[in-house]
Amino acid sequence: MLTRIRLSGRHASRSAKPGPPREPPKPPAPSAPAWRPWLFPLAALIVFLVLLTRAQSQPGTSFPYSDFVAKVNAGVVKTVDINDKGGVSGALSDGTRFTTRIPTALDTSPLEQQLRNKHVKITATQTSSGSGLSTLLAFLLPLLFILALFMWTGRKAAQTLTGGISGIGRSRAKIIEAERPTTRFDDVAGYEGVKQEISEIVDFLRRPERYAVAGAKGPRGVIMVGPPGTGKTLIARAVAGEAEVPFLSVTGSAFVEMFVGVGASRVRDLFGEARKRAPSIIFIDEIDAVGSRRGGARLGGNDEREQTLNQLLAEMDGFDQSSGIVVLAATNRPESLDPALLRPGRFDRHVTVPLPNQAERAAILAVHARGKTLAPDVDWNTVARATPGFSGADLANLVNEAAINAVRADRVVIDAHDLDTARDRLLLGRRESSNALLPEERHAVAVHESGHALIAALCEHADPVAKVTILPSGPALGATEQLPEAERHLYTEGFLTDLLTVRLGGRAAELVVFGEGSTGAADDLAGATQIAGRMVAEFGLSPALGPIGYAAGAPHYVGSENAEEAMGRRPYSEHTQRIVDEETARLVGQAEKRAVALLRDHRAELDTLAGLLVARETVDGSVVLDVLGRQRTEHDGVPPSATGAG
């Protein structure tokens, strides 16, 4: 629940500085003969012509046997040719060719007499047993055609595997050498600590003799760990740009194939290419795809994955330190990596790239806003304050959504309202303007959100209210937005207790006004239960359980659970689980009772704010303070300046 951070940056278009001499160009591969592409179409044409010739080798009209006998009796048959298979071909008196067959089951002896009586010329032939050229071609050419088709498709498939069968084991790394990376550390907004820690890699690649004289060794590998979208790849490119060395980029999944041994071969080829271009940098993105723990239960591909990892371990432990090869890697799942990969001598340094803080978010937003026209009311510090937990990619998406919103309104200038609308869309979803609420539902949502807003304004440690709305967005029917006054890194028990009370303020308002709850508080209850559970099980804030914490395992930015919990086993007993459940229910119940008591004491303010929301649909935080100040002045005589959100 601690505030998280993130980064982004820009790519500056600077001219690349001269680097080490390049290798002489390789001679071009011999081109294929010009006639080779026409070979397959020519074979297909020959097969078609042979089949067409065979189909036309028996021309003429086909007659049924009864029609043939009738024409013989009519005297219109001139010649017939009878073969030993019962096939008959001939010509009529007008020159028309015909074919027919004599049924072998019938007595055809009268047919010869009829033919003689009508003076029909009779000839007999014997069918060939298959020795003819046309018959041979008719059988062989289709077979050859099918074989040629299989050979051709197989060759094309092999050529797609990175240069044929010989290219399967080659590395698929993108080698950026002709145009060196132009990104520099100045192009990465924020993250001064990360850049300072990783700048020694640049110094080692530029001046390795300094380390050699002092007897020091530069880092062999640096692994960057952080949430997705924080700019780990951008930092790696900035390192390559500052060092002015070749940059070999590859993803972890590019090593793994269905063929055993291909991944290890690609690892060898990757480090071989790096040695040829030394000093150089190898960047492996998402290294957890190939560097996962060995020996775990996997469904298929285990041998191939382990061979690839073993080869990677051998290469990182074996290449010459003086060659100037540094391996950078990035992952957001460090807990899944094999311990042998993380030991000193392989990845010597672990650099955490967290989510950006408020000042860094403002700098990142300014970077992504370059080239866009902004209105004077845009304040990046205000936007950064309203976007805690956003990563660099999220901030880039925020600015882009604001630009799209301006275009949708036929404008080219981005104002503060566009940024606010884009933030609501990213956090809550698309605004459902067509989702009209019933009048009683509209009033219920107004009461619910008014409860959240008033409790936030009345609790001492709660964040100030920025906006309250009853306009549906995504799955939410309304929203109460709070903006922290400062970036928090530590949360006290008082803040967490107030946070629980604010979460249950909407349900408490429903209980006070309507006397019953509704399904609108489902998300609030789930969030409050999670917070209370962590207070009991992790933070040691329950007197019943005492100062005992069962941590969730990996850092929350990794997005993983404890290994024991992932396998269905808790690190504590059923008795402890019962205590955790009871204490969680107690904390949530106390927060609800506190919220109900506060709202009953301020029932007039609750009704007033709910009425304003029904009329205006959206109000800002100052309206909430005005409602509290006006009501207290009327009833208690307290001046408005004495009231506030704490």
Residues labelled catalytic: 449
Q: How many residues does the chain have?
A: 646
Alpha-carbon distance 231 to 392, whole Å? Answer: 7
Smallest CA-to-CA distance from 559 within 251, 228, 253 is with 228
DSSP of 449-513:
HHHHHHHHHHSSSSPPEEEEE-S-BTTBS-EEEE--SS--S---HHHHHHHHHHHTHHHHHHHHH
486 contacts 442 by C-beta, under 8 angstroms = no
Distance in angstroms between the alpha carbons of the first and the last residue of the chain: 22
64 contacts 100 by C-beta, under 8 angstroms = yes
In whole angstroms, how large is the CA radius of gyration of the chain? 41
- What type of residue sits at position 361? R
Smallest CA-to-CA distance from 259 within 290, 222, 300 is with 300
Alpha-carbon distance 433 to 247, whole Å? Answer: 49
For 54, what's the count of Cα atoms within 13 Å in the CB-facing half-sphere? 16
The phi-psi region of residue 385 (left if phi > 0; otherwise alpha if psi is between -120 and 50; otherwise beta) is: alpha
Token pair for 320: 């010459």
Distances (CA, A) of 228 to 5, 197, 354, 479, 580: 11, 20, 10, 27, 32
Q: Give the β-pairing of 61-62 and 97-101.
A: parallel
What single-letter DSSP state applies at residue 130?
S
Q: How far is CA 559 from the centre of its chain?
A: 15
Distances (CA, A) of 168 to 260, 264, 315, 316, 519: 11, 11, 19, 22, 57
Token pair for 579: 């205590």
Token pair for 593: 């009772």
Alpha-carbon distance 474 to 471, whole Å? Answer: 10
Alpha-carbon distance 173 to 44, whole Å? Answer: 40
What single-letter DSSP state applies at residue 29?
P
Alpha-carbon distance 597 to 508, whole Å? Answer: 9
What single-letter DSSP state applies at residue 337?
B
Alpha-carbon distance 135 to 156, whole Å? Answer: 32
**H-state helical runs in 75-191:** 109-117, 133-160
Q: Three-state SS for 81? A: strand
Token pair for 126: 């014997």
**H-state helical runs in 514-558:** 522-537
Token pair for 471: 């306009």
2: phi then psi, degrees, rounded to nearest 5: -70, 150
